[in-house]
Structure 1
Amino acid sequence: MADSGRIDEVAVIGNTDVTSTESENNIINTMVERGTSLLKKMEINVAEAEKRTGKNTVNMQETYTVYLIEIRPAETVPEGETPTAPDTLWRRYSDFELLRTYLLTNPFICSPFPLAEFVWHKLAADNLDPDFVERRRVGLENFLLRVASHPVLSNDKIFFLFLTEVDASLTPHYVDSRIKSLSAMYRVKNPDKRFTELKLYSDELNSVISQLLRVRAKVADRLYGVYKVHGNYGRVFSEWSAIEKEMGDGLQSAGHHMDTYAASIDDILEEEEHYADQLKEYLFYTDAVRSVCRKHELIQYELEMVAQDLIHKKQQKEDLTTGTVRVFSLKGMTSKLFGQESQEQRESRLAALDQSIREGEETLKEKNTECQEFVRTACEDIERFKEQKDRDLREALISYAIMQISMCKKGIQVWSNAKECFNKM
């Protein structure tokens, strides 16, 4: 997520030009902070994908895809010197999933990566299909660039091992007790209003983007139908030209324009899907935002439990000091059964309670500090996330609009060409 103070060092999505090559570059160079953290020290690329066959954990044969990660120093190579060869290693998609699971235990928003099920149904969704693999490769590269641009996550030891250690065993690092504790059932008595509002915001953002993607899918369906109808025009004109003498050439040319126009829809929708991927990324970002809220709830819950335990111990000390016996307490029942405790026993208990209270106060202080630090870092990152979101989505939507305008102009041009063909008949 880009810091607002480093606008001059940000690589921005989207240009006003919509040529296929530059559009692809726009997609790959999704906005990231180029001047901070790990990206200032090294270049990171997911260069290619490769299909492999091997045995899985249950000793069954499977075919899967691995992705080649390349890293190299970011320093400029002096003229005349040979650039340093990049360090490379292969990672499976499941390795990227493990990395993200680990990163989500931190109080920071980190980028999700492309998931298979969110694909327009007329495009490839098979995870071994070359087009799908290429889209996933772009998404995974963007994921690494997002994390590497983060001022804190980029310095994480596990992330660095992921990029550099070929034989590093990733799983043990990611099996963290915090992950398990996040799924525990707990109820916070005094929830922080800021995080309650943040959770509501993430739910609303998820709903809005989901609706936008559904509308886009409906439009894509209709657009696909319109383009394919032009293919019918092309077939009719071509068949008609076969029975005409004077009009034959004009009809044949018009049919050719219609066929070309109809065939272009597949490439158009593939390009459009790349822009939709940027919306889907923020759809999955909402899960990361909710994860931050759950983490805060856990910390707040632990803080409340420590505070409650400390209050209970202080009440015990007060009762022991004043000699108050609560009938329905364990102490009250013990006194009735075994008689009053001696002065030495009471002083020993008082000393133990004093020690326990001091430890509880220290623990409460630590928990308070942990909670305050979490709130500070989380709020900073939420603001960074919102600024990044505004820039990214604005650029993606503008690029999408420009692409639609360009597509409409091509349609007008096709019919203008057809009109010229008809005029020459």
Structure 2
Amino acid sequence: MEGERRAARARSAGLPAGGAGGDSPGGAAPLPGSSGSSALLPAEVLDLDEDEDDLEVFSKDASLMDMNSFSPMMPTSPLSMINQVKFEDEPDLKDLFITVDEPESHVTTIETFITYRIITKTSRGEFDSSEFEVRRRYQDFLWLKEKLEEAHPTLIIPPLPEKFIVKGMVERFNDDFIETRRKALHKFLNRIADHPTLTFNEDFKVFLTAQAWELSSHKKQGPGLLTRMGQTVRSVALSMRGVKSRPEEFMEMNNFIEIFSQKINLIDKISQRIYKEEREYFDELKEYGPIHILWSASEEDLVDTLKGVASCVDKCCKATEKRMSGLSEALLPVVHEYVLYSEMLMGVMKRRDQIQAELDSKIEALTSKKADADLLTEEIGKLEDKVECANNALKADWERWRQNMQNDIKSAFTDMAEENICYYEQCLATWESFLTSQTDLHLEEASEDKF
């Protein structure tokens, strides 16, 4: 009887008769045509919609009471199957959310630096908790980037913002610079989190979860500065030879990178110049309205007209400021990020060439019989596997990067076009309204003169 009651409760909740987990001894097998946890809960029970923000059920503050009210046997752990469930029509359900916020200045006798709070929320089983909060400085981000490049030399690692601001637009450590960097660091981490391979890197996990002293201890396990310098000198020499044996598909890839780098750098320079000119125009426009107000005080017959002009200028000034904000937040960061990506891509190609060059040098040594043949044959076999893996990783990541790049660039320029259309429509409507009011006023005055 007790077994029948358990089975009835399980059926009412849409679960296998064996219990909430379905994997416990005596539990029923998953339904035919389904796999893993996707067969455990029907979509209507979870009441999920298309907005991924609503899937963030793993926060420490989330009670999960609504989701568990239908079954007293349902576990409430953040790592329970509610958070792990994936439906066949939602294969890319996001399970890692990262936020970079709350920059904080630190002043010591040696240096001044900024740290950023990083909050990570996840439902992945390899994490010890569902939520982590740590503080990191720029050097920590730089360490992570280097570790990712070391572990995945031919994957396209997202770029970090420069250590110091370029083009002198803002001073270091002022509010604008800190906010710009915060957004860039936020994007950096989330691009890694969304990458199918990088997101599972162990150093990335350590970066998100370890406290400051733990991270410092982990850093000391890496190669020393002299070792890295020696590797760099050797890799440069090898890469110069590797270009000669670069396959045709990678030659085409390299040609694309060179052309892309030229074009995106030019667009970046033009965009920066446009923004600078817009800033100068905005600063002058702000002074234009108050001048008309002062003028109206000495022109009794033109008071309304001059104040109307001042009002129009003020509205156009606000519209200009809004357009500048859109330019600085939507277009400039995207363009400059891909400037940094172009530099990153050149580094990826060099690292691929280094691996290829190492293989070529071993084959050359075997051909000329400069070393033990058996040992070289074994090394060549390992290097051939390494080259094949590196090439396949780069080719797969290349297609993914190109698709993301096209989407990002298209979206940025489309948003800019819409902003411009909206801006000019607002300004045009403002001045047309002013002209209409002046025409009506002139007609009223002419009518009064007739009488």
TM-score using structure 1 length: 0.71
Alpha-carbon contact 1:51-1:63 (below 8 Å) kept: yes
Q: How does 1:376-415 map to 2 (within 5 A)?
A: 376-415=392-431
1:170-217 CA-partner distances (Å, limit 9, x unpaired) = 533554767853453232342322223322221211110111122223
Q: Which residue of 2 aligns with 1:114?
A: 161
Query: Counterpart amino acid of 2:373?
Result: I
Amino acid in the other structure paired with 1:68: R
Q: Which residue of 1 aligns with 2:261?
A: 206
Q: SS of the residue aligned with 2:108?
A: strand
Equivalent-residue separation in structure 1 for 2:326 and 2:113 (angstroms): 25
Secondary structure at 1:216 match in 2:
helix
SS class of match (2:300): coil
Alignment counterpart, residue 104 of structure 1, candidates 119, 126, 149: 149
In structure 2, the CA distance between the partners of 1:205 and 1:215, relative to structure 1 (3 Å rule), is same
Q: Is the 8 A contact 1:112 1:284 kept in 2?
A: yes
How far apart, CA to CA, are the structure 1 residues paired with 2:254 and 2:376?
A: 31
How large is the RMSD of aligned CA atoms in angstroms?
3.0
Matched, 1:282 2:338: yes
CA distance in 1, matches of 2:353, 2:308: 67
Q: Structure 2 matches for 1:5-404, cutoff 5 A? A: 40-55=94-109, 60=110, 62-74=111-123, 86-105=131-150, 106=152, 107-115=154-162, 123=169, 125-166=170-211, 167=213, 168-169=215-216, 171-173=219-221, 175=223, 181-183=231-233, 184-186=236-238, 187-188=241-242, 189-262=244-317, 265-274=320-329, 275-313=331-369, 356-404=372-420
For residues 279-327 of structure 1, the C-alpha deviation after alignment (integer angstroms, 9 at most, x for no partner) is 11111111221122111111111111211222233xx8xxxxxxxxxxx
What is the alpha-carbon distance in structure 2 between the residues aligned to residue 417 and residue 50 of structure 1? 48
TM-fit CA distance, 1:389: 0.8
Equivalent residue letter for 1:53 = V
In the TM superposition, structure 1's runs of 4+ consecutive aligned residues that sit over 6 Å from their partners are: 8-11
CA distance in 1, matches of 2:207, 2:347: 22
**Percent identity of paired positions between Structure 1 and Structure 2:** 22
What are the superposed Cα offsets for residues 131-155 of structure 1, whole Å, 9 maximum, x if unpaired? 2211211111110010111111111
Are the structure 2 counterparts of residues 419 and 113 from structure 1 closer, same or farther at C-alpha, using a change threshold of 3 Å? farther
Matched residues in 2 for 1:229 and 1:130: separation?
Answer: 23
- Equivalenced residue count is 339
Q: Which residue of 2 aligns with 1:338?
A: none
SS at match of 1:104: helix
Contact 2:356 2:387 in 1 (8 A): yes
3-state SS, counterpart of residue 105 of structure 2: strand
**Kept in 2: contact 1:68–1:88 (CA 8 A):** yes
SS in 2 for 1:40: coil
**Relative to 1, partners in 2 of residues 1:383 and 1:9: Cα closer, same or farther, differing over 3 Å?**
farther
Q: Which runs of 5+ in 1 are unaligned?
A: 1-7, 12-34, 76-83, 317-352
TM-superposed CA distance for 1:357, in Å, is 1.8
| SS at 2:172 equivalent | coil
SS of match in other structure, 1:247? helix
**Comparing both chains, which one has the higher relative contact order based on Cα–Cα distances under 8 Å and sequence gaps of 6 or more?**
1
In structure 2, the CA distance between the partners of 1:128 and 1:117, relative to structure 1 (3 Å rule), is closer
